[in-house]
Chains A and B, each alone.
Chain A
Amino acid sequence: MRISTGYGSRPTGGGFETFSWYFFRISGLALVLLVIIHLLLNHVTTDVACTSYQLIALRYRNPFWRLYDWLLLTLALLHGMNGLRIVIDDYVTTRGWRLLLQSTIGVLTLVFFLLGTITLITFQPVAGSLGPSCIG
C-alpha cells in the first residue's frame, strides 16, 4: 500500500482505473451531502419509526425526492460496489476466484440498481390503510 504524497499519486494512465479513481472522489463529494441530508431527514427531523408508507407517499408526490433518492441509490451503489471490487482486487489473488467474484459484483450491481430504480419509478400510493403516521 502506498502513501499518497500529493505528487504523482494521481493515476494518469487513462482507462478504467483512472476513471474509477476520479469517480470515487467525485461521487464521494456528492454523497457526503446527499447521505447526510438523507440521514437528517429520516433519523433526526423525522424519527425512523415515522418513515411510513404514508410519509413516502407524501414525499414522492414531488418528483424532486424521487430524483434525489435515485441519485443517492445510483451513486452509493456504484461507489460501494466499486469499493468492494478494489477490496477483492487486494485480497483475492487466484485468477479464477477473481473472475468469479468480480462477475458476481457486476451482476449484483445491476440487479440492485434495477430493483431500486423500478421501485422509485413505479411507486404509486395505494389508497386505504396507510398505517401509522406521525405527521401532525
Chain B
Amino acid sequence: MYKGQSGMWSWLLHRVAGLGILLFLLVHIVDISLLGLGPNVYNEGIALFGTTIVRIVSLGLIAGVLYHAFNGLRITLIDFWPKGARYQRMMFATVLVLTIVCFVPMAYFVIAPVFGLPASNTAAGM
C-alpha cells in the first residue's frame, strides 16, 4: 500500500518542495538579471533579501532544498542499490534527520542578523 504511509509523504513533500524551489529559481534568475541594469538597481533589488520577511521565506527555501536534495539521493539509492527498496523507510528517517541537522545551523546564520545576534558572516569576502 502506498496511500498514507511514509512513501506517500516522502513523495508529496518531494514534489511540493521541488515546485517551491522552481518558483524561487525563476524569481532568482530575474533578480540576478538586474545586474545588467547597473549597481544601484541591483543593490536595491538584492536589499530585499536582507529584510526580515524574505529571511523567513529563505528559511523555508533552505529547508525545502535540503529535504529535496537528501530525499533525491534516497530515491536514487532505491533505484540503483539492490537493497535500496528494503531500507527505504530507514532512509526516509535518515533524510528527515539530515535535513534538520543541516537546517538548524544554516537557519541560525540566516536569521541571526534580524535579532542582532553575532553570526560573524558579514565581514567575510567570499
Task: Kindly state whether residue A67 has any CB partner on chain B within 8 Å.
Answer: no
- Distance to closest chain B CB from A113 (angstroms): 9
Assembly CA distance A29 to B22 (angstroms): 17
Residues of A contacting B123 in the complex (Cβ-Cβ under 8 angstroms): 134-136
Q: How many A-B residue pairs have CB under 8 A?
A: 162
Find A115's partner among B29, B55, B85, B86 (CB 8 Å cutoff). Answer: B29
Q: A4-B79, A56-B35, A58-B126 are in contact. Are A39 and B65 (CB under 8 A)?
A: yes
Task: Kindly state whether residue A131 has any CB partner on chain B within 8 Å.
Answer: yes
Interface pair B21/A132, CB less than 8 Å apart: no
Residues of A contacting B11 in the complex (Cβ-Cβ under 8 angstroms): 1
Find B69's partner among A32, A45, A129, A136 (CB 8 Å cutoff). Answer: A32
The residue of chain B having its C-beta at the shortest distance from the C-beta of A46 within the complex is: B124
Assembly CA distance A136 to B106 (angstroms): 22
- Further 13 A-B residue pairs, CB within 8 A, beyond A48-B46, A126-B39: A3-B7, A6-B81, A6-B83, A6-B86, A25-B76, A40-B106, A47-B113, A50-B124, A52-B39, A53-B39, A53-B46, A118-B36, A131-B43
Chain B residues proximal to chain A, CB less than 8 Å: 2, 7, 11, 15, 18-19, 21-22, 25-26, 29-30, 32-33, 35-36, 38-40, 42-43, 46-47, 49-50, 55, 58, 62, 65-66, 69, 72-73, 75-76, 78-86, 105-106, 109-110, 113, 119, 121-126
23 contacts between A and B (CB under 8 A): A1-B2, A6-B81, A10-B79, A25-B72, A28-B73, A32-B69, A36-B69, A44-B121, A46-B122, A48-B49, A49-B113, A52-B43, A53-B46, A54-B39, A55-B126, A56-B42, A80-B21, A83-B15, A84-B19, A115-B33, A119-B32, A129-B39, A134-B122
